[in-house]
Amino acid sequence: MRANRETAVATHPRESYVERVVPFTAGDGRPGNVINVRGPVPATRPPVLLVHGAGVRANIFRAPVDTTLVDYLIARGHDVWLENWRASIDFEPVEWTLDQAALHDHPVAVDTVCRETGAPEINAVIHCQGSTSFMMSAVAGLVPRVRTIVANAVTLHPVVPPWSVAKMQVAVPAIARLTRYVNPHWGDSAPTLLAKAMVAAVRLFHRECDNSVCRMVSFVYGSGFPALWRHENLNDATHQWLREEFAAVPLSFFLQMRECLRAGHLVSVEGYAALPRDYVARPPETDARFAFLGGALNQCFLPVSQSRTYEYLNRLRPGYHTLHVLPRYSHLDVFMGANAARDTFPIIAAELEREAGRRMVARSARATAGSTANLSEVS
Ligand SMILES: [Zn+2]
């Protein structure tokens, strides 16, 4: 982790925020929305879209910690927008695929934010399956107005621990014959015999804490104890709060991820003409700059997932993108960790603000020299 980042930021009391939900209709008619959260001081930076992962919702960026990523970015002048796409548990469960989200949801969400704000370009912070699907949109050239993309956990090259590989190859097809969805919330209330059996099995093997939803999350999404965070990185309130932040995730997603893991990179499964079948077969159709984050202790997607995509894109455009491996962090604690405002948010903000810094240098250099500036990188 870089050491010389600003570590403290004065945040506004959340009571002073104004929140506005803007619904959108996805390309295939499914519901989605973007939530704009504004502080008392008008934003001075471009909109930034925060995109959640599978089986959660936009609220995942607002854990009960002193300073959330939303607080942190608002305090630094960003215009913060949270996207609820079809995987959001705020909507009726649907058997989604990454293709559907890439083609139908994210491009509409980006257009909605641009339309609502009048901004010509926006930035994005994307996480896990919000990241893979948004990456698919970007590679296919469907979100050309997104400038800087901070991507956490996984992008074009998913790599999971060996136990997860076994689960994906053996358990997922078997479970897919029995149910269309699995749900970590079954840990608190299991509606069917299958759900009860799954919870009983998970209780037997996952003894790392007494939060049955936390233990189910680890079984559903990874291989660690727990899989998506380090317990030492969460405060007690967050460990309790997450009980209500996870719900149904369809087997249709896991079956697609199984194909991706086999291929070693993202692949499409729907056959849409607007999306490539293979996402690394040709250079991405985007000028966006990517900053990749990977928790060194991530047991859902191993950090090599991110370094692989970084190396791939770095070969295509050397020195343009960045990679940050985060020591002591796992998967979601990058955003919901009690100390994330000290450890990870400064990196995210610096990446989002880098482009603006470059442009300001360019403008002032042009103003003084009266000619094209030779830019030095500002981070
Ligand atoms: Zn736990």
Give the model confidence (pLDDT) of 64-115 as tens digits.
Answer: 999 999 999 999 999 999 999 999 999 999 999 999 999 999 999 999 999 9
The rounded Å distance from CA 179 to ligand 1 centre is 25
- Predicted pLDDT at 357: 58
- Predicted pLDDT at 222: 87
Q: Is the dihedral of CA 219, 221, 223, 224 positive or negative?
A: negative
For 208-250, the pLDDT digits (tens) are 999 999 999 999 998 889 999 999 999 999 999 999 999 999 9
The rounded Å distance from CA 360 to ligand 1 centre is 45
List strands edge to edge, sheet with 146-152.
18-25, 31-38, 79-84, 47-51, 122-127, 146-152, 289-295, 322-326
Closest CA relative to residue 139, chosen from 288, 323, 257: 288
Closest CA relative to residue 305, chosen from 166, 162, 152, 163: 152
Closest CA relative to residue 359, chosen from 73, 155, 120: 120
Cα 341 from Cα 354, distance rounded (Å): 18
Question: At 290, which helix (H) or strand (E)?
Answer: strand 289-295
- Token digits for 310? 């970084």
Give me the helices (H) in the chain, please: 69-75, 98-100, 106-117, 128-139, 162-166, 172-176, 193-205, 212-221, 236-241, 251-263, 304-316, 333-336, 340-343, 345-369
Q: CA-CA distances (angstroms) from residue 346 to 270, 281, 334, 354?
A: 38, 34, 11, 12
The rounded Å distance from CA 332 to ligand 1 centre is 13
The rounded Å distance from CA 239 to ligand 1 centre is 6
Closest CA relative to residue 23, chosen from 69, 85, 80: 85
- Predicted pLDDT at 3: 38
* 3 state DSSP class of 1: coil
- Predicted pLDDT at 360: 52
The rounded Å distance from CA 4 to ligand 1 centre is 32
The rounded Å distance from CA 221 to ligand 1 centre is 14
Is residue 224 within 8 Å of 323, Cβ to Cβ? no
Closest CA relative to residue 156, chosen from 137, 184, 178, 176: 137
- Token digits for 83? 């996207």
Give me the helices (H) in 222-329, please: 236-241, 251-263, 304-316
Beta bridge partners of 37: 19, 80
Is residue 306 within 8 Å of 160, Cβ to Cβ? no
- Token digits for 322? 């960045």
The rounded Å distance from CA 8 to ligand 1 centre is 28
Cα 119 from Cα 54, distance rounded (Å): 28
Task: Please list the ranges in the chain whose pLDDT falls under 50.
Answer: 1-7, 366, 368-379
- Token digits for 320? 């343009």
The rounded Å distance from CA 363 to ligand 1 centre is 50
SS3 letters for 33-76? Answer: EEEEEECCCCCCCCEEEEECCCCCCHHHHCCCCCCCHHHHHHHC
The rounded Å distance from CA 228 to ligand 1 centre is 10
The rounded Å distance from CA 206 to ligand 1 centre is 9
- Token digits for 167? 């689960």
The rounded Å distance from CA 46 to ligand 1 centre is 36
